[in-house]
Amino acid sequence: MEDFIPYCLPTLDESEIDEVVDTLRSGWLTTGPKVTRFEETFRNYVGTEHAAAVNSCTAGLHLSLAALDIGPGDEVITTTLTFCATANVAVHLGATPVLADICLDDYNLDPADVERRITPKTRAIMPVHYAGQPCRMDELMEIAERHNLAVIEDAAHAVGAEYKGKSIGGIGHTTSFSFYATKNMTTGEGGMVTTNDAELANKIRLLTLHGMSHDAWDRYTDKGSWYYEVLAPGYKYNMMDIQAALGIHQMEKLESFIEERKHQAELYQRYLGDLEEIILPATRPDVRHVWHLYPIRVVADRLEIDRSEFIEALRERGIGTSVHFIPVHKHPWYREHYGYQPTDFPNAEAVYEGLISLPLYPRLGEDGVGRVAEAVRDVVRRNRR
Ligand SMILES: Cc1ncc(COP(=O)(O)O)c(C=O)c1O
- Among 26-30, 40-44, 211-215, 302-306, whose mean pLDDT is lowest? 211-215
Which pLDDT does position 2 carry in this prediction?
A: 76
At the fourth CATH level, which superfamily is domain 255-383?
A: Aspartate Aminotransferase, domain 1 (3.90.1150.10)
Average pLDDT for 117-137: 98
Q: Write down the pLDDT at residue 144.
A: 98
The CATH class of the 14-251 domain is alpha beta
Q: Which of 81, 179, 180 to mutate to test the pocket of ligand 1 (most atoms within 8 A of CB)?
A: 180
Q: How many A from CA of 183 to the centre of ligand 1?
A: 9
In sequence order, what E strands does 38-173 have? 50-54, 75-79, 96-100, 122-126, 150-155, 162-163, 166-167
Strand partners, 256: none
Beta bridge partners of 79: 100
Judged against a pLDDT cut of 90, whether residue 213 lies above it is answered with no
223 is catalytic: no
The answer to whether the beta carbons of residues 146 and 73 sit under 8 Å apart is no
Radius of gyration (C-alpha) of the chain in whole angstroms: 21
Averaged pLDDT, 263-271: 98
Q: What is the mean pLDDT of residues 101-120?
A: 98
Supply the pLDDT for residue 30. 95
147 has pLDDT over 80: yes
> How far is Cα 208 from Cα 240, in angstroms, rounded to an integer?
12
- Ligand 1 atom with the smallest distance to the CA of 189 is 10
- Ligand 1 centroid to residue 64 C-alpha, Å: 15
Query: Which residues have CB under 6 Å of ligand 1?
Result: 56-58, 82-83, 85-86, 128, 154, 156-157, 178, 180, 191
297: closest CA among 321, 263, 331? 321
Across 265-293, average pLDDT: 98
Is pLDDT at 218 greater than 70 in this prediction? no
Which of 79, 80, 178 to mutate to test ligand 1, by most ligand atoms within 8 A of the CB atom?
178
Cα gap 55→98, rounded to integer Å: 26
From the CA of 59, how far away is ligand 1's center (Å)? 10
58-62, 228-232, 254-258: least confident range: 228-232
pTM for the whole thing? 0.97
For residue 98, how far is its CA from the centre of ligand 1 (angstroms)? 18
> Ligand 1 centre from 222 Cα, in Å?
37
Over range 7-28, report the average pLDDT: 97
Average pLDDT over residues 149-163: 98
> Does 222 score more than 90 pLDDT?
no
What share of the chain has pLDDT > 90, as a percent? 95
Average pLDDT over residues 28-54: 97
- Amino acid at position 164, single letter: K
Average pLDDT over residues 330-334: 98
Band of residue 165 on the pLDDT scale cut at 50, 70, 90: very high
Res 216: pLDDT: 58
Mutate to test the pocket of ligand 1, among 55, 56, 57, 293 (most ligand atoms within 8 A of CB): 57
Mean pLDDT, the chain, as a whole number? Answer: 96
Say which of 121, 183, 203, 330 is annotated catalytic.
Answer: 183
Q: Read off the pLDDT of each residue in 48-61 and give the average, rounded to a whole number.
A: 98
Average pLDDT over residues 192-196: 98
pLDDT category of residue 283 using cuts at 50, 70 and 90: very high
Give the amino acid at 14.
E
Q: What's the confidence (pLDDT) of residue 214?
A: 72
Extents of the domains making up the chain: 14-251, 255-383
Which of 203, 86, 91 minimizes the C-alpha distance to 153?
A: 86
Instruction: Report the nearest atom of ligand 1 relative to the CA of 61.
Output: 4
Q: Quote the pLDDT of residue 1.
A: 58
Looking at residue 15, its amino acid is: S
With CA atoms as reference, report the closest residue to 175 among 188, 158, 190, 189: 158
Average of per-residue pLDDT across 13-25: 98
- 125 φ/ψ angles, rounded to the nearest 5 degrees: -115, 135
Question: What is the residue with the minimal CA distance to atom 14 of ligand 1?
Answer: 83
